C-alpha cells in the first residue's frame, strides 16, 4: 500500500518509520525540507499511484493548519480518494472537513492517535470515526501503526467519533496525572516518608494504580529526584477544555477532569490572584497575619498563628 503523509514532526516522523517497517510505501511532506521526501503537497500527491484510491494522512497541528491542509488536498485529490486527519483536531471540526471533501466525492476519516514519542517502538492507540467503507480502505495503515494484540477501534460511523473518543481519553489522562502529582507533593511534604521515589516505584507492581503513566513518573524522578530541573508549569493541548465543554453541553458531571484542568491553569500563576484574594479575606474576617498586617481591630499574633476561622 502507498500513503501520503503530511507532517513529519515528533509523531509524524516516527509514524512514517513504523509504517515503512511494516512494508507500506510512505511519501512524506513537511514544510521543513530536511524532513520531507518531496518539496510540495502537489509532488506528494503526484507520487502516489493512480491505480487505486489515494490515501493521505494529515498529521499537523489542530485548527487552521489542519483546515488549510485539508482544503488544499481537496483541490489535488480526486473522487474515491481518502483523507485521514490524525491530528488532535476538535471533533466538531470533522464534519466541516468531511463536507468539504465529500462535495468532491473524497472520503474522510478522523483518527485520534495516542502514543507520543514511544509509539515507534510500542505502537499507537488509534480511535477512528467515519464510514465503515472508508475505514476499511485505510485498515492496512491502522494495522501497521497499532500495537500487537489491540489498540485500534472504529469508534463510530459518524465523522468525529474518533476525535471525540481521543478527547475523552486525554481528559482522563489529565485527571490521572493530577492524582499522581498531588500524591507526590503530599509524600514530599511529610517527614515520615524517607524514600519517595522508592514508594512510587513499589506501586508499579501488584497495585491497582500501576500504569504506564506511573512508570513514566518514576523514570522522571529517577533522573531528577526533586524535579529541580523543571518549572511547575503545565500546558494544556486544548482537549481538556473541549472535554469539559462537552460535559457542560451534555449535562454530564466531570468533577475530577474539570478540577485537573483548572489545576493546570493554577500552575501558570507565579503569584496566584485567587490565593491573594483568599489571603485578603482571611485577613479581613480573622485578622490572620499572612503577608500583610491585620486590619484595625485584628488580633492576629505577629507569628502568623491563625485564630479559629469560624464566623
List, by residue number, the catalytic residues: 166, 173
Which run of H or E residues covers position 108?
A: strand 107-114
Cell of 238: 486544548
Q: For the chain, give me the number of helices (H) and strands (E)?
A: 12, 7
Cell of 132: 465503515
Alpha carbon distance 292, 285 (integer Å) = 14
CB 55 within 8 A of CB 141: yes
Alpha carbon distance 174, 264 (integer Å) = 9
Which run of H or E residues covers position 7?
A: none
- The DSSP secondary-structure symbol of 267 reads T
CA atoms within 13 A on the CB side of 202: 5
Which run of H or E residues covers position 289?
A: none
Which of 280, 284, 291, 274 shows the shortest CA–CA distance to 311?
Answer: 284
Angle at 39 between CA 37 and CA 44, to 5 degrees: 65
Alpha carbon distance 246, 248 (integer Å) = 5
Amino acid at each position: 500500500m502507498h500513503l501520503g503523509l503530511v507532517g513529519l514532526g515528533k509523531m509524524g516522523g516516527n509514524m512514517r518509520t513504523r509504517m515503512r517497517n511494516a512494508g507500506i510505501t510512505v511519501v512524506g511532506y513537511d514544510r521543513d525540507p530536511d524532513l520531507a521526501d518531496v518539496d510540495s503537497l502537489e509532488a506528494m500527491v503526484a507520487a502516489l499511484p493512480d491505480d487505486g484510491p489515494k490515501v493521505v494522512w494529515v498529521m499537523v497541528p489542530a485548527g487552521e493548519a489542519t483546515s488549510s491542509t485539508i482544503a488544499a488536498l481537496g483541490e489535488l485529490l480526486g473522487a474515491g480518494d481518502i483523507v485521514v486527519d490524525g491530528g488532535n483536531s476538535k471533533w466538531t471540526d470533522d464534519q466541516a472537513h468531511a463536507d468539504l471533501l465529500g462535495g468532491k466525492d473524497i472520503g474522510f476519516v478522523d483518527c485520534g492517535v495516542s502514543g507520543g514519542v514511544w509509539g515507534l517502538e510500542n505502537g499507537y492507540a488509534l480511535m477512528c470515526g467515519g464510514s465503515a467503507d472508508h475505514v476499511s480502505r485505510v485498515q492496512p495503515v491502522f494495522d501497521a501503526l497499532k500495537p500487537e494484540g489491540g489498540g485500534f477501534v472504529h469508534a463510530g460511523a459518524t465523522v468525529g467519533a474518533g476525535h471525540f473518543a481521543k478527547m475523552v481519553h486525554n481528559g482522563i489522562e489529565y485527571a490521572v496525572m493530577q492524582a499522581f502529582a498531588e500524591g507526590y507533593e503530599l509524600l514530599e511534604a511529610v517527614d515520615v516518608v524517607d524514600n519517595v521515589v522508592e514508594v512510587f516505584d513499589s506501586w508499579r507492581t501488584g497495585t491497582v494504580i500501576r500504569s504506564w503513566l506511573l512508570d513514566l513518573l518514576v523514570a522522571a524522578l529517577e533522573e531528577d529526584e526533586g524535579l529541580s530541573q523543571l518549572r511547575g508549569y503545565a500546558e494544556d493541548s486544548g482537549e481538556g477544555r473541549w472535554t469539559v465543554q462537552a460535559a457542560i453541553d451534555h449535562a454530564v458531571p466531570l468533577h475530577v477532569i474539570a478540577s485537573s484542568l483548572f489545576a493546570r491553569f493554577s500552575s501558570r500563576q507565579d503569584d496566584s490572584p485567587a490565593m491573594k484574594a483568599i489571603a485578603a479575606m482571611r485577613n479581613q474576617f480573622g485578622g490572620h497575619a499572612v503577608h500583610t498586617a491585620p486590619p484595625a481591630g485584628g488580633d492576629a499574633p505577629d507569628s502568623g498563628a491563625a485564630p479559629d476561622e469560624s464566623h
